[in-house]
Amino acid sequence: MMRERAGEIARFLAQPVLARLLQALDGEGEETRVVGGAVRNLLLGEPASDVDLATTALPQETMRRGRAAGFKAVPTGIEHGTVTLVADGMSFEVTTLRRDVETDGRRAKVVFGRDFAADALRRDFTINALGLGRDGRVHDYCGGLDDLAQRRVRFIGDAAMRIREDYLRILRFFRFHARYGVGAPDAEGLHACIAGRDGLTGLSRERVRAELLKLLVAPGVASTLGAMAGAGLLMPVIGGVPHLSRFAAIAENDGAGVHPAFRLAALAVSVGEDASRLRERLRLSNEEFDRIERIARALEGLGGRAGLPAIAALRHVAHAAGNDAAAAALVLLNASTGAEGRVQELIAELGRTPRFEPTGKDVIGFGIPPGPRVGQVLEAARQSWIEAGCPAGADEQMEFVRMASTGLR
C-alpha cells in the first residue's frame, strides 16, 4: 500500500503551506508528524482535507515557531495541548504528544510527553493511529496498515478499555466501520460495544447527535445499522423502533449529498411524536427539527393510502407541510415499492404547481369582515382550488375565493 501511494505521499508533503509548517516545527530538538485521518485517507487514495499534526514541542513553543513562519496561532485547546495554525486559507491542528492519566468515560486528563508510540496507542482505532513523518515514512505502532489494507476497523489494544475511556467510541466504531470497513464489524469490538452500552446514557446529547448524523450518511450505513440493531445498540440511541428496511431502500437510492436529517427521518420517524422525541433525545437544531417534524406531518397526511397518492392529495399535504416535506414523505412511503419512476413524476408535477395568489384582502373584497373568518374563507378557497387541479389563471383563482366567500357568509 505504501509503495503504491509513494507518489501521492510525496506530493502531499510538498504542498507549500504544509511543507513550510513542517519545516518550522520539525527540527532543532523537536519532531512533528502528520497523524490521524489525513494519513489514513492518503493511504486509501482519498482526499486528506483535514490535516492534524502531533509534535514533541510544547504548545507555547508550537505557537512561537508557527508565528515565526508566518502562521496565525490560535490556542483552540491549549489545556489539552492543541493549537491551530492558519495561513493562506488553510488551518492545521497541532497537538503536543500526550498520554492519559485519568478518564471518566467522557473526557480525559492528560500529561504531555515526547513518545510518539504512547501518543498513538491512546487513540481509538488502529487505522486512526498512523503517523507520517516529514521524510515520507509512515509510522505504525499497532497494525493499522494491515487493518487498512483489510478494510477492518479495530480498537487499539483492549477494546473494552478503549470504550471505558470514552463511551462515544461505541458510536464511532460503527461510524468508522460504515465508512471504511467491509463485511461484519470486528467481533471483539462489537462484543465490547454491547458490554459497554450502558455508558451511552452518560454522554451529552450533542455528542451523540453529531456522531449519529455522521454515521447516517456513511456509505455502508444500512448494513451497519442492521448490526447495531441486532446487538441491541440502535434503539437506545434513537429511543424507538427503527425502520430498517425503509432506511436501507433510501440509503441505496437517494444518492450523494443527502441531508442527514432526512436520513434520520427515514430511520426513526412515522408521526409527529417521533420528531419531538428525537429533538429531546438528540438535542436537534431548530433547522433539523423543523425538517423532520414537517416530514412527520406529511407522512401522517399521506398515511393509510394504498399505493401512490393522487396529485391532489399530495398537493394538500404540501400546502400543510411544504413541498420538500411532501416529496420526502412520498419517497419514504414508497421506498420499497419499486415505483421510483412514478414517484419522481409525482414530485415533478408537485413542483410545477402554480402559486395560489389570492390574499386576505381579496376575501375582504367579497364582503367578509376582517377577523378569523377571512383565513377560513381563504383556506376553503385554496382547498377547492387544489381539488380542481390548481388552475393558474387569476380570474379562475378569484372565482374560488368568491364561491368560498358566498358559502361562509
Write down the pLDDT at residue 49.
Answer: 84
Write down the pLDDT at residue 255.
Answer: 56
**Average pLDDT value for residue range 347-376:** 94
**Average pLDDT value for residue range 165-189:** 97
Tell whether the model's pLDDT for residue 78 goes beyond 70. Answer: yes
Write down the pLDDT at residue 2.
Answer: 62
Question: Measured between alpha carbons, how far is 2 from 26 in angstroms, rounded to an integer?
Answer: 22
Write down the pLDDT at residue 76.
Answer: 92
Domains of the chain from N-terminus onward: 1-150 (3.30.460.10), 153-216+223-228 (1.10.110), 239-353 (no CATH), 360-407 (no CATH)
pLDDT digits (tens, 9 = 90+) for 314-333: 999 999 999 999 999 999 98
Tell whether the model's pLDDT for residue 103 goes beyond 90. Answer: no
Those residues whose C-beta lies under 8 Å from the C-beta of residue 399, and which sit 6 or more positions away, are none
pTM confidence score: 0.88
Tell whether the model's pLDDT for residue 349 goes beyond 60. Answer: yes
Contact 107, 75 (CB under 8 A): no
**Average pLDDT value for residue range 383-393:** 95
Degrees, nearest 5: CA angle 148-138-31: 135
Write down the pLDDT at residue 212.
Answer: 98
Question: Measured between alpha carbons, how far is 133 from 154 in angstroms, rounded to an integer?
Answer: 23
**Average pLDDT value for residue range 185-193:** 98
Q: Where are the alpha helices (DSSP H) in 284-351?
A: 286-302, 311-321, 323-333, 340-351
Q: Considering the chain, what is the average pLDDT of its residues?
A: 92
Write down the pLDDT at residue 341.
Answer: 72
Residue 71 has which C-alpha cell? Answer: 502562521
Write down the pLDDT at residue 368.
Answer: 92
Tell whether the model's pLDDT for residue 123 goes beyond 60. Answer: yes
Contact 406, 400 (CB under 8 A): no
pLDDT digits (tens, 9 = 90+) for 362-385: 999 999 999 999 999 999 999 999
Write down the pLDDT at residue 194.
Answer: 97
Question: Measured between alpha carbons, how far is 63 from 80 in angstroms, rounded to an integer?
Answer: 14
Degrees, nearest 5: CA angle 149-193-52: 50
Question: Measured between alpha carbons, how far is 305 from 340 in angstroms, rounded to an integer?
Answer: 17
Kindly write down the DSSP assignment for every residue of 231-252, as one continuous string.
Answer: TT-SHHHHSS---HHHHHHHHH
- The secondary element (H helix, E strand) that includes residue 128 is none
Write down the pLDDT at residue 109.
Answer: 67
Write down the pLDDT at residue 305.
Answer: 62
pLDDT digits (tens, 9 = 90+) for 4-60: 788 899 999 999 999 999 999 999 999 999 999 999 999 999 988 899 999 999 999
List residues bridging with 52 in a β-sheet.
35, 93
Residue 240 has which C-alpha cell? Answer: 424507538
Tell whether the model's pLDDT for residue 407 goes beyond 80. Answer: no
Percent of the chain with pLDDT over 90: 84
Tell whether the model's pLDDT for residue 304 goes beyond 80. Answer: no
pLDDT digits (tens, 9 = 90+) for 242-282: 999 999 988 877 655 578 999 999 999 999 999 999 999 99
Percent of the chain with pLDDT over 70: 93
Greatest CA span in the chain, whole angstroms? 89
Contact 123, 183 (CB under 8 A): no
Contact 240, 274 (CB under 8 A): yes
